């Protein structure tokens, strides 16, 4: 469990681990330079329960904290938990028994979102993973069985239960100093996974609040560009790039463009500069013609809007023109529906 300024939710998260029906476990907490009372709370738990191990480091990010925790893991299986989320009290026993019974490298399971302001639970297609569930059914499967379904699996580590030997043999690491760091850990493992199973159960409760790192939309979102390039390199290193290159080219443009739309306005100029620098490298690359052949029309348009804009203001005009056009079409459609009611 990586911990950074989590005092508001930490006790609830730790309690749902220590009160698991499976009690033969250790909880490795890595405080990532918290400036609130988180470290004090962790030390209090460690004094009362010998299963809690606490490590402290200067602030290096969640990826670095997870890597430290994995280095110290000695159990047969590894589970990654966020310090502001919750898990069902019988989850680890269910996952342990299933993994042992089927001799699994990894169990994948479902998560549900929780809005702590509204006290409301809601589903998300990305964490439901119903398409994957329908595809694999009740069978044990490996990477070679998945084809494009590798992109239908949530990359998050907290909806997976791992065999420790599998993780360490793969030398899987979280990206350090970047948000969206779990992407790299996922791709480090998925290529090597031979025995996986999908458990159609909602065992994890993902809390959404304003301080969540992936919901902040701050300057760190620019790291999505680096992360996408790292993912492509993972495909190259595992001799899978040619098989998936069309998907990867389009995925990169779509995801980066989406993150641009999510980032706070004050950080958009910096995001645009980084995006243009990255996209422009492709103009001189040997794969440019291949990219233009494989990219979908809307992604070619997005790419050209970025590289052909004179500056951030010019790009924003192109970007907003696209958005306004969509809004006008949507408004026209709504007006037509209203008029039809009166006919």
pLDDT digits (tens, 9 = 90+) for 262-286: 999 999 999 999 999 999 998 888 9
> Cα(216)–Cα(235) distance, rounded to whole angstroms?
29
Domains of the chain: 2-215 (3.90.550.10), 219-341 (no CATH)
> What is the reported pLDDT for 285?
87
pTM of this structure:
0.89
Of 134-148, 176-190, 329-343, which gets the smallest average pLDDT? 329-343
- Per DSSP, the residues of 129-184 read -HHHHHHHTTS-B-GGGTGGGGGGS---GGGEEEEHHHHHHTT----SS-SSTHHH
Cβ atoms of 57 and 32 within 8 Å: the answer is yes
What's the whole-number average pLDDT of the chain?
92
Beta bridge partners of 192: none
- Is the per-residue pLDDT at 340 higher than 60? no
What does the block give as tokens for 24?
């033969």
CA distance 65 to 288: 38
pLDDT-based confidence at 120, cuts 50/70/90? very high
For residue 211, the model assigns a pLDDT of 57
Q: Give residue 34's pLDDT.
A: 97
Give the pLDDT band of residue 215 (cuts 50, 70, 90).
low
Whether 214 shows a pLDDT value over 70: the answer reads no
Residue 33 predicted with pLDDT over 50 = yes
Output b/e per residue, 146-170; b: 16+ Cβ within 10 A.
beeebeebbbbbbbbbbbeebbeeb
Q: What is the mean pLDDT of residues 248-261?
A: 96
Going by the DSSP 8-state scheme, the letter that residue 105 receives in this structure is S
pLDDT of residue 331: 42
Check pLDDT > 50 for residue 335.
Answer: no
The residues with which 27 forms a beta bridge, in sequence order, are 52
pLDDT value at residue 228: 96
pLDDT band at 209 (very low <50, low <70, confident <90, very high): low
Alpha carbon 252 to its chain's center? 15
Cα distance between residue 114 and residue 194, in whole Å: 33
- Mean pLDDT for the stretch of residues 104-126: 95
Burial 7-18 (b: 16+ CB within 10 A, else e): eebbeebbebbe
Least confident of 184-193, 203-212, 276-285: 203-212
At 321 the pLDDT is: 81
How many Cα atoms sit within 13 Å of 164 on the Cβ side? Answer: 11
Residue 328 confidence (pLDDT): 40
196 to 107, 149, 162, 222: CA distances (angstroms): 6, 13, 10, 32
How would DSSP label each residue in 16-44? HHHT-S--S--EEEEEES-SSSHHHHHHH
Q: Give the model's pLDDT for residue 12.
A: 97
**Cβ-based burial of 201 (10 A; exposed 0-12, middle 13-18, buried ≥19):** middle
């Amino acid at each position: 469990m990586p911990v950074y300024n989590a005092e508001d939710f930490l006790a609830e998260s730790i309690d749902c681990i220590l009160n698991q029906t499976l009690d033969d476990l250790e909880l490795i907490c890595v405080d990532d330079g918290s400036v609130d009372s988180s470290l004090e709370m962790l030390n209090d738990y460690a004094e009362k329960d010998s299963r809690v191990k606490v490590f402290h480091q200067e602030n290096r990010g969640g990826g670095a904290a997870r890597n430290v925790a994995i280095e110290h893991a000695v159990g047969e299986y590894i589970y990654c938990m966020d310090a502001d989320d919750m898990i069902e009290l019988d989850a680890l026993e269910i996952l342990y028994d299933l993994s042992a019974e089927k001799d699994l490298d990894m169990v994948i399971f479902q998560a549900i979102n929780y809005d702590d302001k509204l006290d409301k639970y809601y589903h998300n297609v990305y964490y439901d993973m119903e398409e994957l569930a329908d595809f694999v059914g009740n069978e044990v499967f490996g990477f070679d069985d998945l084809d494009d379904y590798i992109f239908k699996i949530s990359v998050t580590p907290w909806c997976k239960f791992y065999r420790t030997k599998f993780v360490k043999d793969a030398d899987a690491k979280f990206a350090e100093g970047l948000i969206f760091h779990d992407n790299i850990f996922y791709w480090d493992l998925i290529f090597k996974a031979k025995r996986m199973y999908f458990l159609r159960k909602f065992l994890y409760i993902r809390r959404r609040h304003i301080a969540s790192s992936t919901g902040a939309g701050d300057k760190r979102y620019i790291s999505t560009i680096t992360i996408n390039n790292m993912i492509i390199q993972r495909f190259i290193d595992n001799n899978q790039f040619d098989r998936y290159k069309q998907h990867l080219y389009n995925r990169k443009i779509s995801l980066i463009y989406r993150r641009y739309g999510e980032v706070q306005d004050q950080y958009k100029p910096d995001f645009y500069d980084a995006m243009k620098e990255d996209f422009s490298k492709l103009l001189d690359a040997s794969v440019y013609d291949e990219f233009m052949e494989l990219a979908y029309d809307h992604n070619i348009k997005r790419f050209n809007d970025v590289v052909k804009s004179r500056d951030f203001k010019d790009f924003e005009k192109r970007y907003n023109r696209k958005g306004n056009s969509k809004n006008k079409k949507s408004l026209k459609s709504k007006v037509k529906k209203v008029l039809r009611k009166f006919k």
